[in-house]
Each structure stands twice: as structure tokens, then as C-alpha cells.
């Protein structure tokens, strides 16, 4: 894709600083004074200047593409669905395959290998250590969205998960957020400060730039984050300045902690198993127009059993995990509703842009098993002592750690292949909702244009009337990689990208390129082939058919784009990674065909009634 500055400045820098430091009265005085002083004939008066909208980003952590009702889910999300019905849903929106890389691009508009998250901090490889772009935190080579919005006259608020650095110069208060209540870690308890490793047993939080010694009374992550954002908005309400609120939920990331009244809203609903729920979700997606008629589901992962062959008790226990997950998503929706209702009450809802999405694919890996390791190790002992609530009746309580596994992650990512950590569509394709005053497309409509999380920086700067600078604190800034959505949101175009534009990804050594309808993918075995695979994701969104052998010229062209991406962003493939022994741990990959082997599906033969007889004496 071409790089460059994507926005036009809507106000001179001098005016933006005035807007940033004063209210409506000073804006009026400043405009008239500067008009005379600068003899600028085209500057509008305050009476003509449109009121700039507030901006709210609602980010779900590991929220699946098909979880919300408006994207085909059976999970009840009326508040998020209402935003979808008032705005636009986007079906071809891409993030990254893991949380901190996505968040780094959201806040910088710059590729991960440049902004410091070339790899997750937790998995930085030996050959990446000490290399610029692989710091494991959002580095100082980039300027952040809240820094630029703050300079343009916005209040900037954050509540929730950060995962972009813990040192004093790396926390939200140092990167442009005026107010914050933040979990700096990647995850942990929703009830207290319990973390999941022995080396780092305590979660780290900040509030307004100070590290917390304890959490507020009656803390529960999703509720408290919402409470804090509402209090931040109220503290400055009425001063004439718009606000940017980054509501970065920890949910529904595991462990699945939630209040008791939210745990039993789907009792028994998922006992029928993952295959049936995936089929139901795809049917609704086709009815809604999310997926075209004829779309197939991705193959069930070869190491996941057909739920039909499981004993009822096993299906019930596994179904209970999905019940908890659904409760987590519904709890998010409830608290989003609280925020929406509050904005309506104070008269800000109609002037607020809402942007809703998940940070990557749903989590199919058993993180607890990965972290705890094997018996006899320090982390195994720590997990056994501090995360010991394993009885299903205690799931959701402090000290319990429940994730729902690859079978339900595939359900969350219906109809796509695979999930978080991988560069199949199930790892990087996300549901996106945008609503608010800048959306001029039909309410409740769908858009199928290719979108990317890095587009948020140029889009929101254009909304704010700000521009992306060439330098920051004497350092030349890297160019933005995204494109503004404003021409598309305004209804002028249906897609902001042409067939010549491309997107590229790399994390954990897995890599991918998408250009137009084509996607080239390289993944470690056994999830991939350890070689380039080619898919037409417009016709085959589930990536069922590798057509590389039939299209060598297309493979060659996309590999050339990949090589350009590597050079432009200093991509260093890791020497070590989380999947280096996976091929040895999993059974050999085989095709999954419905009803095979017949041996385990053949039911009892029942002879015709008129041919049945008792034995002769």
C-alpha cells in the first residue's frame, strides 16, 4: 500500500492550540483576534464552526467475530446491536493476531515492527532482543493518537487494559492520556491483583499516572472500567471540549471471571456442541448478509472431537465453559449500555462516534496450561496454590481459571479458520461497528471493504481536524500505514482501498499478505504447511482450498509484496517462538470429513418388524 500523509489540516496549529486550552468563549475571541492578525480570509467564525464529535472506542479483548448478535451470535448483546443498527457494520476489518501488536497499531497508526511491538514482550526471540522496533513496548519513535488529539483540544481518557509497557515513560499518562485507570498487564484476575505467574504474581495498575497499591472497593474489572470512564467524562463535562475515551476492556479474555448472576444465563444451551452452534451462527450470518450465500464453514480443527461422540457429561462440562464466556460478553454489553445511557442523560450521545471491535481472534490456546507448565516447576506450584478453584461450581470465582478451548474459539470465529495467534482469517478478521454523527451511510447497513486497525489514526485525526506531524520532539516520525475512513463513512466511496493496495502481517514467525481478493499465508506446521499457501478469501473466506499450485504467478507477485514489506519495516523472523514444538505435541493433521470414520457413527441395526422372531425350541 502507498504510504504518506493521509489527512488535511482543518484548522491552523495556532487555532488548534487555542481550542485545546480554552472553552467556547475563548475560541470565539481567539478566532476573531487571529483573523485580524493573520489576515486569513477563509477562517470560519465560531458560529459557523461545527461542534467536533466525541470519540469512544470500545475494545473487546479476544472478542470473536461471530459473538455479537448483529454478526450472527446467539449471545444477547442488545446495546452493541443497537449501535450496529444505528451505524454501519464492517465485515472485512483486520487487526493483528494478538493483543499488544493490535493495540500498538491502534494508538500509533504505524506497523508493529516499527512501533516497538514487532513481537509481543512475552515472546521476544533471542535474535530480536535489543533491535529497534522489538522493544516490547510502544516506543518513543512514534507519536500516539491521544497525544495528537489532546494537542488538538480533546480531553483524553482511558480505562482498561494497556499491555504496551510498564515503566513511567511508557504508561498511559506518559503517552497522551489526561485521565486513566489502567491494567498494565496482558491479563489476570477480574476481582483482585492476582497475576498468573510466580515471577510476576501481582498485577500492576495505574490511575492518573500513579501506580496503585490496591484496587477500589467492590472492584470488578468490567464494571470498574465503565465507572471510571463515566467519572472522567463527568469531571470535565460542560467545559466546551470534546473527549476521546478509550474503553479497553479486559473481557472476555480468560480467566472467565464474572458475578454469579451472570453465570447461568445459558444453562444447557451449549450442550449440543460446537458444530451445531457454528452451523446456526453461519446460517444467521448469511441471513444478515454478513456472509454470502453458499459460504462454507472452515474445517473443524483435526484434533477436536466431533461433539456427537462425547458422553453427555463431557458435553455438559465443556458447554458450561461456553456458558461462562457468553455471560462475559453479555456483561460487557450491559456495561456498554450503562455508558450509552449516561451519555444520553448528559446530552452527549448524539454527538459521539462509537467504534466497537475485538483486538484479535478468539483465544483457542490453553493459556493456563502454557503458563503453569509441568509438575515440579515453580509456576506449576504457584498455579496449584493460587488458582486452585477447579470445581465447575466455583468457575467464575476468584482463584478459578477457565478458558473455553479451541472448539469454542472456532465457534466465536465462525465461519473462519483457526483463531488468535495465527494468521488465518480466524486470527485477524474482526467484527467492526461504527456509529455516530460522521456516518452518513444508511443506518444498519453493511460494508465489505477491506479495513485495518491502523486506519484509526488517520480517520480520527481527520475527525478532530488535526494532522499527523512530520516530526515529534526533534525526531522524524515514521509514516502512517493506514487510510482514513472518512470518504467511506460519508458515503462517497464503498472502499478506501484499491486492488493494488495491500496489507501484511508477521507475528511469532507466521506471516501473511492480502491484496484484493487474494491472501498469501505462511504458518508453522501443523496449522500451516510451513510453506506459502494461497487463498481467494472473497470466494473462500474459510480458507479451505489452497490454490497456490494453480496460481504460481499470483504467488510470485504476493511474495514480492511480502519482501517489500520486510524491507520497509525491518521484519526479523524470530529464532524462537511459542509454536516451535507444536507439531510434536499435536496428533498428525488429517482431513476432517463429516461422518468419518463410519465405524463410530454406525447405529444399531434394527431389522424389519415382520422378520423378527424368537429362537426355535
Q: Report the alpha-carbon distance of residue 458 to residue 455 in Å, rounded.
A: 6
Considering 163, 249, 335, 452, which one is annotated as catalytic? Answer: 163
Sheet holding 88-94, edge to edge: 210-211, 205-207, 179-183, 155-161, 243-248, 54-60, 352-358, 429-435, 88-94, 445-452
Counting Cβ atoms within 10 Å, is residue 500 exposed (0-12), middle (13-18) or buried (19+)?
exposed
CA angle 458, 351, 61 (to 5 degrees): 60
User: Between helices 405-412 and 312-345, what is the axis angle to 10°?
Assistant: 40
The tens digit of pLDDT for each residue in 70-105 reads 999 999 999 999 999 999 999 999 999 999 999 999
Neighbours of 474 (CB within 10 A): 5
Q: Report the alpha-carbon distance of residue 320 to residue 322 in Å, rounded.
A: 5
Q: Is 163 a catalytic residue?
A: yes
The tens digit of pLDDT for each residue in 513-547 reads 999 999 999 999 999 999 999 999 999 999 999 99
Residue 617 has a pLDDT of 84
Round to the nearest angstrom and report the end-to-end CA distance of the chain: 86
Q: Report the alpha-carbon distance of residue 68 to residue 64 in Å, rounded.
A: 8
Considering 96, 99, 257, 335, which one is annotated as catalytic? Answer: 99
CA-to-CA dists, residue 282 to 66, 299, 406, 422, 604, angstroms: 9, 13, 18, 21, 32
CB 67 within 8 A of CB 258: no
Residue ranges for the chain with pLDDT beneath 50: 1-48
The tens digit of pLDDT for each residue in 468-521 reads 999 998 999 999 999 999 999 999 999 999 999 999 999 999 999 999 999 999
Helix/strand/coil for 102: helix
What sign does the CA torsion over 28, 34, 40, 41 have? positive
Buried b (16+ CB within 10 A) or exposed e, 167-176: eeebbbbbbb
Residue 204 has a pLDDT of 98
Q: Report the alpha-carbon distance of residue 528 to residue 371 in Å, rounded.
A: 24
Those residues whose C-beta lies under 8 Å from the C-beta of residue 521, and which sit 6 or more positions away, are 423, 424, 510, 511, 512, 528, 532, 533, 534, 535, 543
Q: Report the alpha-carbon distance of residue 275 to residue 278 in Å, rounded.
A: 5
CA-to-CA dists, residue 472 to 111, 175, 469, angstroms: 17, 13, 7
Residue 442 has a pLDDT of 97
Q: Report which secondary-structure segment, H or E, holds 94.
A: strand 88-94
What sign does the CA torsion over 230, 100, 256, 428 have? positive
Residue 139 has a pLDDT of 98
- The 3-class secondary structure across 66-77, one letter per residue, is CCCHHHCCCCCC
The tens digit of pLDDT for each residue in 329-353 reads 999 999 999 999 999 999 999 999 9
Q: Report the alpha-carbon distance of residue 617 to residue 613 in Å, rounded.
A: 12
What sign does the CA torsion over 234, 239, 240, 242 have? negative
Q: Report the alpha-carbon distance of residue 75 to residue 323 in Å, rounded.
A: 10
Share of the chain above pLDDT 70, in %: 92
Residue 351 has a pLDDT of 98
Neighbours of 293 (CB within 10 A): 7
Residue 388 has a pLDDT of 94
Residue 56 has a pLDDT of 98
Q: Report which secondary-structure segment, H or E, holds 324.
A: helix 312-345
CA-to-CA dists, residue 52 to 121, 237, 437, 548, angstroms: 37, 14, 10, 48
Helix/strand/coil for 129: coil
CB 73 within 8 A of CB 413: no
Residue 49 has a pLDDT of 59
Q: Report the alpha-carbon distance of residue 144 to residue 158 in Å, rounded.
A: 13
Q: Is 253 a catalytic residue?
A: no
What phi and psi values does residue 447 have, to the nearest 5 degrees? -135, 135
Amino acid at each position: 500500500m502507498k504510504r504518506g500523509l493521509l489527512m488535511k489540516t482543518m484548522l491552523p496549529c495556532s487555532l488548534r492550540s487555542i481550542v485545546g486550552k480554552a472553552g467556547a468563549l475563548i475560541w470565539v475571541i481567539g478566532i476573531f483576534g487571529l483573523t485580524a492578525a493573520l489576515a486569513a480570509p477563509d477562517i470560519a467564525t465560531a458560529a459557523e464552526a461545527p461542534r467536533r464529535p466525541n470519540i469512544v472506542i470500545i475494545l473487546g479483548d479476544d472478542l470473536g467475530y461471530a459473538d455479537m448478535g448483529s454478526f450472527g451470535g446467539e449471545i444477547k448483546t442488545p446495546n452493541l446491536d443497537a449501535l450496529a443498527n444505528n451505524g454501519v457494520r464492517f465485515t472485512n476489518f483486520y487487526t493483528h493476531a494478538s493483543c499488544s501488536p493490535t493495540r500498538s497499531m491502534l494508538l500509533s497508526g504505524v506497523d508493529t515492527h516499527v512501533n516497538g511491538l514487532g513481537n509481543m514482550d512475552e515472546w521476544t526471540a533471542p535474535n530480536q532482543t535489543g533491535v529497534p522496533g522489538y522493544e516490547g513496548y510502544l516506543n518513543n519513535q512514534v507519536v500516539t493518537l491521544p497525544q495528537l488529539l489532546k494537542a488538538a483540544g480533546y480531553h483524553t481518557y482511558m480505562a482498561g487494559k494497556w499491555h504496551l509497557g510498564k515503566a513511567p515513560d511508557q504508561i498511559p499518562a506518559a503517552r497522551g492520556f489526561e485521565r486513566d485507570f489502567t491494567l498494565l498487564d496482558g491479563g489476570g484476575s477480574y476481582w483482585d491483583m492476582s497475576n498468573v505467574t510466580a515471577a510476576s504474581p501481582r498485577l500492576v495498575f495505574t490511575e492518573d499516572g500513579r501506580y496503585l497499591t490496591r484496587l477500589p472497593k467492590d472492584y470488578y474489572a468490567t464494571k470498574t472500567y465503565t465507572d471510571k470512564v463515566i467519572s472522567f467524562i463527568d469531571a470535565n463535562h460542560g467545559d466546551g471540549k470534546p473527549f476521546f475515551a478509550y474503553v479497553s476492556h479486559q473481557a472476555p479474555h480468560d480467566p472467565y471471571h464474572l458475578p454469579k448472576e451472570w453465570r447461568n444465563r445459558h444453562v444447557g444451551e451449549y450442550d449440543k456442541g460446537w458444530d451445531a452452534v457454528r452451523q446456526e451462527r453461519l446460517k444467521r450470518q448469511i441471513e444478515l448478509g454478513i456472509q454470502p450465500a453458499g459460504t462454507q464453514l472452515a474445517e473443524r480443527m483435526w484434533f477436536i472431537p466431533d461433539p456427537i461422540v462425547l458422553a453427555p457429561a463431557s458435553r455438559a462440562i465443556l458447554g458450561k465453559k461456553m456458558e461462562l464466556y457468553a455471560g462475559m460478553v453479555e456483561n460487557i454489553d450491559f456495561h456498554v449500555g450503562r455508558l450509552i445511557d449516561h451519555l444520553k442523560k448528559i446530552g452527549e450521545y448524539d454527538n459521539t462516534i462509537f467504534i466497537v471491535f475485538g483486538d484479535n481472534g478468539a483465544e483457542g490456546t490453553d493459556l493456563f496450561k502454557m503458563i503453569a507448565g509441568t509438575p515440579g516447576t515453580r509456576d506449576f506450584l504457584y498455579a496449584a496454590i493460587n488458582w486452585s478453584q477447579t470445581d465447575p461450581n466455583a468457575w467464575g470465582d476468584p482463584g478459578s481459571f477457565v478458558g473455553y478451548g479451541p472448539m469454542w474459539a472456532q465457534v466465536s470465529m465462525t465461519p473462519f479458520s483457526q483463531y488468535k495467534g495465527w494468521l488465518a482469517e480466524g486470527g485477524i478478521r474482526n467484527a467492526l461497528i461504527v456509529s455516530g454523527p460522521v456516518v452518513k451511510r444508511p443506518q444498519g447497513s453493511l460494508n465489505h471493504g477491506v479495513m485495518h486497525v491502523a486506519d484509526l489514526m488517520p480517520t480520527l485525526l481527520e475527525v478532530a481536524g488535526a494532522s499527523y506531524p512530520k516530526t515529534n520532539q526533534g525526531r522524524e516520525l515514521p509514516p502512517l500505514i493506514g487510510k482514513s475512513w472518512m470518504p467511506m463513512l460519508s458515503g462517497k466511496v464503498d472502499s478506501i482501498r484499491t486492488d493494488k493496495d495491500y496489507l501484511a502481517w508477521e507475528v511469532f514467525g507466521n506471516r501473511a499478505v492480502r491484496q484484493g481478493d487474494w491472501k498469501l499465508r505462511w504458518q508453522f506446521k501443523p496449522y500451516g504447511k510451513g510453506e506459502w499457501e494461497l487463498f481467494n478469501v472473497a470466494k473462500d473466506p474459510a480458507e479451505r482450498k489452497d490454490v497456490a499450485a494453480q496460481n504460481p504467478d499470483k504467488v510470485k507477485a504476493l511474495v514480492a509484496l511480502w519482501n517489500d514489506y520486510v524491507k520497509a519495516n525491518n521484519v526479523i523472523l524470530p529464532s524462537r517462538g511459542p509454536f516451535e514444538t507444536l507439531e510434536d505435541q499435536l496428533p498428525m493433521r488429517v482431513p476432517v470429513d463429516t461422518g468419518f470414520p463410519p465405524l463410530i457413527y454406525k447405529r444399531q441395526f434394527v431389522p424389519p418388524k415382520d422378520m423378527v422372531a424368537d429362537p426355535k425350541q
